[in-house]
Structure 1
Amino acid sequence: MEIVKDTLTALWQVIVAGIIFGAGLPALFALGLRALNSGRTINADGTVTVHPGTGGRATAYVIFGFVIAIALFGIVVIVFGKQLFAH
């Protein structure tokens, strides 16, 4: 019975990590792109008017920095996981 409990616990952790990194991180990146593109409007004739906003740009850069940091952390865990999490 203990092995079933341990297996379900590990499965739950993998599912949560998959949701966060598989869907959450790309969604966060998309929000950064949306924030970066917040000052643009498309006119009726098809031309684009740009009103750059510093708030949207700053938000986008913070989000992009967070996404890059999480991606680099994932790479470090993959490469040095045994040294970091050895018991």
Structure 2
Amino acid sequence: MKTLSLAFNSAWHVLAVGVVLGAGVPALFAFGIRGLAASSGQMADDSTPRAWGKPVAAVCFLFVCAAITLGLTIIVSSGFGMKVSFEHIYPTLVEKK
């Protein structure tokens, strides 16, 4: 019975990461694109952009780029016999044991 509970616990972690990365990061990117869009649903020639659009888009794109960079770092570091450790506030590369 313990094996079954461990399997469900692992499946829950995989599902949570899948939802965050599979839906959260693209939604954040879409919110950044929306921040760059013209305001109030008018034609782009007739309206002025939102004042908060560019800063919000920049922050959204920064988080998306950070997520992509972290994912690539995890994949590439495993090929070099290293792993990403989150023991500190920022991720660091350490040797696999």
Tell me the TM-score normalized by structure 2.
0.72
In 2: Cα distance, 1:68 partner to 1:54 partner: 23
Output the aligned Cα RMSD.
2.1
Q: Between Structure 1 and Structure 2, which shows a larger proportion of helix residues? A: 1
What is the CA-CA distance between 1:54 and the residue it aligns to?
4.1
Aligned pairs for 1:43-62 (under 5 A) are 48-62=45-59
In 1: Cα distance, 2:26 partner to 2:64 partner: 8
Q: Does 1:74 find its partner at 2:71?
A: yes
Identity of aligned residues (%): 31
Count of aligned pairs: 83
What is aligned with 1:22?
Answer: 22
What is the CA-CA distance between 1:4 and the residue it aligns to?
1.3
Helix, strand or coil for the counterpart of 2:42? strand
What is the CA-CA distance between 1:63 and the residue it aligns to?
0.5
Q: Which runs of 4+ in 1 moved over 6 A?
A: none
Structure 2 gap ranges (5+): 85-95
Which structure ranks higher in relative contact order (CA pairs < 8 Å, sequence separation ≥ 6)?
1
What is the CA-CA distance between 1:5 and the residue it aligns to?
1.8
